[in-house]
Amino acid sequence: MTWAGRVVNVESRRTSRQALIVMEAQFVDESGEGRLVWFIHRRGRGPLPRAPVSPGAYAVVSGNAKRGARGVELHSVTLDVHGGGKDSLPAPGSELPPQPVYALTDGVTHTRLVGWIKAALERHTPMEWLDDPILRAANVPPLNEAVRALHLPHSVSEVEPARRRVALEEIVSVYTDAISRKEAAQAAPAPRCLSERLSGSDFHERLPFTLTPGQCQAIETLAAEMGRRRPMRRLLLGDVGSGKTVVAAYGALSAVLAGYQALLLAPTRILAEQHARTLSRLLAPWGCPVHLVTSDLTGEERGRVVAQACEGRAALFVGTQALFAADVAFPNIAFAVVDEQHRFGVAQREALLQLGPLHLLSMSATPIPRTLAHVLFADTDVTILQGRPPGRVPVDTRWIHPSQRRELYAFLRREVKRSRQAYVVFPRVEADDDGVGGVIVEAKSLADQELADVRVGLVHGQQSPSEQERTMAAFVAGRIDVLVATTVIEVGVDVPNASVMVIESADQFGLAQLHQLRGRVGRGTHQGYCLLVTDPQSERAKRRIQALRTTDDGLSLAELDLELRGPGEFFGVRQSGRSEFKVVRPSVDQDLFRLVSKLSPEALKKAPRVEGAARS
């Protein structure tokens, strides 16, 4: 809210917290009066801080409007004091210029900061570096106009084009960084992973199941790229249960049979153990050694595995970040897999690439819309794994009204009596202001009431990693019937016996998250059920829930999620391993992503690095 008027009086009072002072100013205009409120931290025992404004001052104020005990209140107030008196204020009914809101620190007021910014813009004009045709195609102003409009706008209509100009800067920064990484990766040759012992048909025939056409195509792509000296950089995107692991198995086997070492990096110990078991079984016909490396590996067994790694023995090493321990080395590395790559940051990726020139396969079940993928993964070739293994029954997805919870949990108990397991997911750990329960309280309530006759476990993000892993291990082992959780379980272990996924307050999740959670069930021979408990009020929310009920294609859902969700809510970018954008709004800036992805690297050679932009 922005308001023009006069300060009548100013008063201050202490709170129960001695270091916190509340200052209030009575503010009036022709329509009435209200109060301006500041919460100010007092340092030491010195005098009270000076009030941000004096009685009698005319000003334009902006802030968060609230209904207080004495009428309208403005909090987080910013001021534009008009020394010319009443006549200097904007005329009644005129459009007031928008006021930027800055994050302030002790001793810096909004007025002082705005003064500094004005002085800086008067002395220095940011230089435009993008060519005019690019600016015209993006329909954005030059950089100097955009920076001025963001800090000192004359009208609201200036702000959005200015934001888009800075967003274009961020997107270009991400794109050029990715291109630079791609060029650097190709500077040194990688080992050629060819072996007479392995052919595509031989690999297919020795597997205990039939590959899908998508898996066959992905394996053919890996075989061609790993047979060259040029380092492979490939991202394998596929829905939960689409069969990404067998593609990784082929790559690892190619490297090991050619005499090299291979790694598979997983985000959790349980997932690493699961991969080690699965890959040991798949690769047994070729006698491929598979070693597990986690923080739990100690003593003589750890010494043996570390020795084989450091000696360069050809084998597949599966593990967590323990693979990067100081005493572990892989001098003969040729191939690496990063599973659930969005769970790892820049440091882990760099540590992996520091091992030497190698072929790198990243895998993720997080669907990324094509619009964004061309820019976010410009340093990587992307394979989208379509289809699912034969015999996998689609999950039955249903929309459940909250009034039907009794019937829902009765159904869940029946599934447990049939020796099945289930998940119940809540959106947050603690209850929110809207009364949606937190997982801790709700887990106890379920264990005491609706699920009193079954074994209930709890896992959430505020628990320690070891506590989370103990609970998940108990669920995998069948010692827990119903696991109550937050979204920490959206990426993780394969529990074929889990048949029911209950998602409470489903409208508070993104479509990509809901799709990921749904993928946790129906992974075995039993019919899977995903029960979405919600009472959506808007047509947009209803459309999202209906879309999840009618399609199981993750990429299509990601595209819809990008279209429907508001700025700052988009799931894919945040979960793609990149830092969050500061200015870019993926839901409304798709045209900028498309524009940048079509630009040649030569057109962007003079791109500056933008601090705070997304990085991989």
pLDDT, one tens digit per residue, over 69-84 is: 777 887 767 666 666 6
Confidence of residue 435 (pLDDT cuts 50, 70, 90): low
Reply yes or no on whether the pLDDT at 46 is more than 50: yes
- How many angstroms separate the CA atoms of 287 and 574, rounded? 40
Q: For 252-257, what is the mean pLDDT?
A: 96
Which pLDDT score, from 0 to 100, does residue 257 have?
A: 95
Statement: residue 611 has pLDDT above 50: no
With a cut of 90, say whether residue 424 has pLDDT above it: yes
Going through 144-258 in order, the beta strands assigned E by DSSP cover 233-238
The fraction of the chain above a pLDDT of 90, given in percent, is 36
Q: How many CA atoms lie within 13 A of 172 on its CB side?
A: 25
- Lowest mean per-residue pLDDT among 74-78, 288-292, 301-305: 74-78
pTM: 0.74
Q: Is the pLDDT of residue 579 over 70?
A: no
In one letter, which amino acid is 370? Answer: R
- Is a pLDDT exceeding 50 seen at residue 580? yes
**Rounded to an integer, what distance in angstroms lies between the CA atom of residue 39 and that of residue 407?**
49
For the residues 394-404, what does the mean pLDDT come to?
92
The SS3 assignment for 276 reads helix
Beta strands in 42-158 (DSSP E): 58-68, 71-82
Give the model's confidence band at 326: pLDDT under 50 very low, under 70 low, under 90 confident, else very high.
confident
The pLDDT of 353-357, averaged and rounded, is: 86
Strand partners, 399: 532
Please report, as a single letter, which amino acid is at residue 122. Answer: E
**pLDDT tens per residue across span 117-176:** 999 999 988 888 888 889 999 999 999 999 999 998 888 899 999 999 999 999 998 888
CA 579 – CA 15 distance, rounded (Å): 38
Helix (H) or strand (E) holding 170: helix 159-185
* Contact assessment for residue 10 and residue 38, using Cβ atoms and an 8 Å cutoff: no
Query: Residue 432's pLDDT is what?
Result: 64
Instruction: Please determine, for residue 215, whether its predicted confidence score (pLDDT) is greater than 90.
Output: yes
Interval 394-413 mean pLDDT:
93
Q: Which residue has the higher pLDDT, 403 or 512?
A: 403
Two tokens at 339?
């599973």
Burial class (CB in 10 A: 0-12, 13-18, 19+), 67: exposed
Output 106 or 450, whichever has higher pLDDT.
450
Can you tell me the mean pLDDT for 45-61?
Answer: 75
Residue range 479-506: mean pLDDT, rounded: 88
CA distance 526 to 379: 40
Cα(449)–Cα(441) distance, integer angstroms: 12
Q: Which residues have a Cβ under 8 Å from the Cβ of 476 and sit 6 or more positions away?
A: 270, 493, 495
Q: How sure is the predictor about 575, in pLDDT bands with cuts at 50, 70 and 90?
A: very low
Q: Is the pLDDT of residue 503 over 80?
A: yes
Q: What is the pLDDT of residue 17?
A: 64
Residue type, 208: P
Residue percentage of the chain with pLDDT more than 70: 86
Which pLDDT score is estimated for 228?
93
Mean pLDDT in the chain? Answer: 83
The pLDDT value given to residue 51 = 75
Q: Rounded to an integer, what distance in angstroms lies between the CA atom of residue 505 and that of residue 434?
A: 11
pLDDT of residue 45: 64
Among 80-84, 473-477, 572-576, which range has the highest average pLDDT? Answer: 473-477
CB atoms within 10 A of CB 132: 9
pLDDT at position 576: 37
pLDDT at 616 over 50: no
**What is d(CA 428, CA 300) in angstroms, rounded to the nearest whole number?**
42
Query: CA Rg, the chain, in Å?
Result: 29
Measured between alpha carbons, how far is 412 from 529 in angstroms, rounded to an integer? 10
Give residue 573's pLDDT band: very low, low, confident or very high (50, 70, 90): very low
